[in-house]
Structure 1
């Protein structure tokens, strides 16, 4: 497709829908719902809800990133890209790669380890506390059970990697929104 032709309105609309859907979900899940649920629900209820919702969230974000890259690439041929457009397509590509990695690996591993960890905690009567902070009972369990201690370390690692991927996607989508806003001729 020639670069001089403007994308049709439907392509622009789809691009906005995918970008805003992804951005809105990321902001809500990362900065609002997680904090509210984590401070109001029991640890196991919170973990269960997240393990059920996160695969959908991560796959929707991954799909939105892919479609944003696809739509942008269709209307910006590589041989005619400006430096700014090259940066934008790179940002979309990074977002796709990181979102897919999170959806297929880090997010899934975090949920799987959390489910195993909850099973062990239930056998000790733990998991019904409300809030983010751990009690002495969890520390004692980590000290006495090597398998549980290993799961705790793995969970910290995979959760941190998943969170970094999520923050990277938020940054990519924030950059994309800035790029889009800078190229609006009118509201």
Structure 2
């Protein structure tokens, strides 16, 4: 059964919304805000925005898989369609990991770090470059050093999941583009 134009539009809408938001948040907004806002302001903005970002990405990934699977029965899947479904599953898994775990833990650890930093008069510097004061704080304060290590780990895992979603959505867009008969 061929999907209706409405279903095709919805599929494209969910995929392009997710892709566009991922590109904007990852490669534009984050860099601009981090280079122009005080560190703690930037961190608090991310803490407020990221749950929405992660939930929207997860929802779009789930809806993309659902729409695609509705019109591609498993017994009739080609290798390319099977690959596309796997890509959607990877995107959902990475998105949900970020939504439910990595993103939240990263935000919680950052909030704890900011309390320690504020107690030492830090956090109002603009930019993310490690200041000498924060390096000294890491060296002299074992609990802050542990928080910094946790942040580094969970931020890296969250970033990896985010990049997985970007790649998955890019591959899905490529798949759609190769099946367009006209612009």
- TM (norm. structure 2) is 0.99
Q: Name stretches of at least 5 consecutive residues in structure 1 with no aligned partner.
A: none
Equivalent position of 1:140 in the other structure: 136
Gaps of 5+ in 2: none
Mapping for residues 68-87 of structure 1, pairs under 5 Å: 68-87=64-83
Question: 1:20 — aligned with what?
Answer: 16
**Matched ranges for 1:166-177 at <5 A:** 166-177=162-173
Report how far residue 117 of structure 1 moved: 0.4
Moved over 6 A (4+): none
What residue is the counterpart of 2:103 in the other structure?
107
What residue in structure 2 maps to residue 50 of structure 1? Answer: 46
How far the C-alpha of 1:139 sits from its partner, in A, is 1.0
- Secondary structure (helix, strand or coil) at the match of 1:96 reads helix
- Number of the residue aligned with 2:175: 179
Aligned equivalents of 1:51, 1:147: Cα separation in 2: 21
Q: Aligned partners of 1:140 and 1:97: how far apart in 2?
A: 38
Distance 2:167 2:159 in 1: 12
Alpha-carbon distance, 1:98 to partner: 0.9
Mapped partners of 1:51, 1:98: distance in 2: 19
What is the CA distance between 1:48 and its match in structure 2? 0.3
- What SS does the corresponding residue of 2:123 show, helix, strand or coil? coil
Report the alpha carbon displacement of residue 140 of structure 1 after superposing the two structures with TM: 1.1
Q: 1:63 and 2:20 equivalent?
A: no
Q: Does 1:157 align with 2:153?
A: yes
Q: TM-score, normalised by structure 1?
A: 0.97
1:96-124: CA deviation from partner (whole Å, max 9, x where unpaired)? 11110111000000000000100110001
Structure 1 residue 136, shift from structure 2 partner:
1.1
